[in-house]
Each structure stands twice: as structure tokens, then as C-alpha cells.
């Protein structure tokens, strides 16, 4: 099984002894228009590192996948510092978010040009620090079908993934468009077990969740705690339906902290909401610790490394 690429070097999968957060942001800038709060920057780095260090002690947090990519205010130097300060390994990303946040470089660039940009980051590293990304994501679309620029970005992500062995995590705005994303990515030759379809806990449609999982993709319930989008009660119901259908091995869980107001010291749910609130409710509903470990540790490792469900982790 291949090593996991983290901002502080390769990490053996066997070293991940505790749970992972599969979709988070530690440093980003999505401010636009009247929304000036969608930011996590150096002012918040100490609070972020403190939360992660506490979770490492309380819950055994052993890995975090950070999905801020090109055009999202990605800051790999900040990720490196936060990882060192917290003691939690962090995976950095490359790719493009959904169209409203595409940087000018996407423009009219063809798929081959976009693929080349990703390959350079994957092989040479990000920025002057030369940090190697360990995942492609969160590559985005909005609506039931990707827009033309989103199609190019998704195709480039798939081709770069096929060429390098990285996996692809998507942003499906409000949970919509997952089947179209999966069809597009697999049409480029990317196996479904190298794909995670994002934000499915925002889509109240268990049939779509079963379809994605049945085709072999990972299904992300990755906005846990964002009650203004969807209640955790609804998330719990949808997750239990997916588990009952036999697809626990296709689930990834996280909270998608994406603005400073979500931090605990600002009164938000923080990075630990999954562990402190949601998983206890999942256990109370009858999900045992083996399945919890599957969804929070073994599945993220398999997603990042490309291991199949039957491979031991």
C-alpha cells in the first residue's frame, strides 16, 4: 500500500492509528461580494492548531485531509505550521473548486493545459515550499450537470489522477450533480474507488447515495454540524440508510470547517463536532465501533492510497 503524502512528508498508512477528518479547511479565503467571513488565515492559525491538538489528545485524531485548492486561498506554508504545531498529519490538495471561484488560469485553457498544471504541482510541489499534494480536490461543480469550465477542470483532475495515482475528492454544490461527476471522472479512466463525491449529506436522496456507493465511489457526509444547511438529524437518518444498505465501506465523514465563525473560540461547532456530537448519536442508533472505525479511519486511508475494501488496513 502506497504512503500517504502529507505536508510534512510521507506517512505510512499503518501509522494512522486513529480517526481521520476527510474534508476540512485550515487555511482558505473564499471572500467575495458581501460575504467577508469565509476566511481562515494567519489570525486564526493558533486557534485551528489548538483545536486539532485537543482532538489528537481526546479522540486520537491521526490525519486530516485539507481540500483547499487553487483559487481557494490555499496556503501550504500555513498547513505545514499547523500540522507541526498540532501534531496532526495534514494532506494538501490541488485542483479547482467550482466555477464561481475559478482563477483566471482556467479561462479558456484546454483540458491538456489544465492537466499539465496539476501534474506540475503533483510532481514538483506547490509553491516555493515544494509541498507535494496528496489528493486532487475539492474539484467542483454546481447544478445537476457541470458547466463547461467545470467539465474541463474535472477532466483534468481525472487525467492527472490516472497519471499519478492520486485520488479525487469533489465538491457537489448542495449535494447535487454527483452522478454526473462520477460519470465524467470514470469516463476518463479513473476507477470509482479513487473518487469521493462530496457534500452528499446535503442531498436528501438516499437513492442517489446508494447509486454512487453501488458504483464503487466514496460518498462524503462531510458537512456534519452545519445545521443551517441540513440538520444533523437528517444526516443521521440518511447515513443509517446507507449503512443499512451495506455501504459503510463507501462512507467518508467530516465537518468542512470553511470560515472562522465555525471555530470553537468564536462560538462555532469546531473541528471536533463529528467526534463530540455526531458519532455518539450514531453509536446510540446501533452502529458499532467496528463500523465507526471503518468510516473514520480505514475508509480515508483506502481512499487516499487506492486500496480496495478487501485490503487490510
286 Ramachandran zone, left/alpha/beta (phi>0; psi -120 to 50): left
Q: Is the pLDDT of residue 309 over 80?
A: no
Task: Give the neighbor-by-neighbor strand order of the sheet with 135-141.
Answer: 93-94, 135-141, 168-172, 195-197, 218-221, 251-253
Which H or E run includes 196?
A: strand 195-197
pLDDT band at 291 (very low <50, low <70, confident <90, very high): very high
For residue 39, what pLDDT is reported? 96
pLDDT tens-digit profile of 180-199? 999 999 999 999 999 999 99
What's the mean pLDDT in 216-228?
A: 97
Percent of the chain past pLDDT 70, that is, above it, reads: 100
Beta strands in 110-194 (DSSP E): 135-141, 168-172
Q: Which residue has the cell 437513492?
A: 207
How far is Cα 197 from Cα 212, in angstroms, rounded to an integer? 8
For residue 90, what pLDDT is reported? 98
Neighbours of 238 (CB within 10 A): 22
pLDDT tens-digit profile of 9-28? 999 999 999 999 999 999 99
For residue 36, what pLDDT is reported? 83
pLDDT tens-digit profile of 255-287? 999 999 999 999 999 999 999 999 999 999 999
Q: Coil, helix or strand for 20?
A: strand
What's the mean pLDDT in 298-313?
A: 89
pLDDT band at 1 (very low <50, low <70, confident <90, very high): confident
For residue 233, what pLDDT is reported? 98
What cell does 41 get? 488565515
Q: Coil, helix or strand for 195?
A: strand
Q: How distant, in Å, are the alpha carbons of 53, 70, 77, 99, 158 from that of 94?
A: 25, 6, 14, 15, 12
Q: Is the pLDDT of residue 310 over 80?
A: no
- With a CB cutoff of 8 Å and minimum separation 6, the contacts of 98 are 140, 141, 142, 150, 171, 173
Amino acid at each position: 500500500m502506497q504512503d500517504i503524502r502529507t505536508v510534512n512528508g510521507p506517512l505510512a498508512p499503518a501509522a494512522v492509528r486513529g480517526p481521520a477528518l476527510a474534508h476540512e479547511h485550515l487555511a482558505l479565503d473564499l471572500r467575495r461580494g458581501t460575504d467577508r467571513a469565509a476566511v481562515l488565515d494567519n489570525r486564526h492559525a493558533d486557534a485551528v492548531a489548538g483545536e486539532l491538538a485537543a482532538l489528537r489528545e481526546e479522540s486520537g485524531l491521526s490525519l486530516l485531509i485539507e481540500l483547499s485548492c487553487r483559487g481557494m486561498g490555499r496556503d501550504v506554508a500555513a498547513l505545514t505550521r499547523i500540522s507541526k504545531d498540532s501534531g496532526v498529519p495534514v494532506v494538501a490538495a490541488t485542483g479547482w473548486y467550482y466555477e464561481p471561484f475559478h482563477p483566471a488560469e482556467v479561462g479558456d485553457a484546454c483540458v491538456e493545459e489544465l492537466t499539465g498544471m496539476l501534474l506540475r504541482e503533483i510532481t514538483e510541489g506547490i509553491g516555493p515550499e515544494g509541498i507535494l499534494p496528496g489528493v486532487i480536490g475539492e474539484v467542483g461543480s454546481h447544478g445537476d450537470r457541470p458547466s463547461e469550465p467545470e467539465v474541463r477542470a474535472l477532466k483534468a483532475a481525472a487525467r492527472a489522477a490516472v497519471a499519478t495515482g492520486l485520488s479525487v475528492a469533489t465538491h457537489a454544490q448542495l449535494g447535487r450533480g454527483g452522478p454526473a461527476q462520477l460519470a465524467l471522472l470514470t469516463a476518463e479512466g479513473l476507477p470509482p474507488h479513487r473518487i469521493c463525491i462530496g457534500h452528499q449529506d446535503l442531498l436528501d436522496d438516499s437513492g442517489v447515495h446508494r447509486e454512487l456507493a453501488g458504483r464503487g465511489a466514496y460518498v462524503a457526509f462531510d458537512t456534519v454540524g452545519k445545521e443551517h444547511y441540513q440538520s444533523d438529524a437528517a444526516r443521521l437518518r440518511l447515513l443509517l440508510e446507507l449503512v443499512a444498505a451495506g455501504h459503510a465501506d463507501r462512507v467518508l465523514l467530516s465537518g468542512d470547517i470553511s470560515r472562522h465563525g465555525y471555530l470553537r473560540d468564536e462560538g462555532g461547532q469546531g473541528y471536533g463536532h463529528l467526534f463530540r456530537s455526531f458519532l455518539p448519536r450514531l453509536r446510540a442508533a446501533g452502529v458499532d465501533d467496528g463500523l465507526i472505525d471503518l468510516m473514520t479511519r480505514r475508509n480515508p486511508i483506502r481512499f487516499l492510497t487506492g486500496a480496495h475494501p478487501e485490503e487490510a488496513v
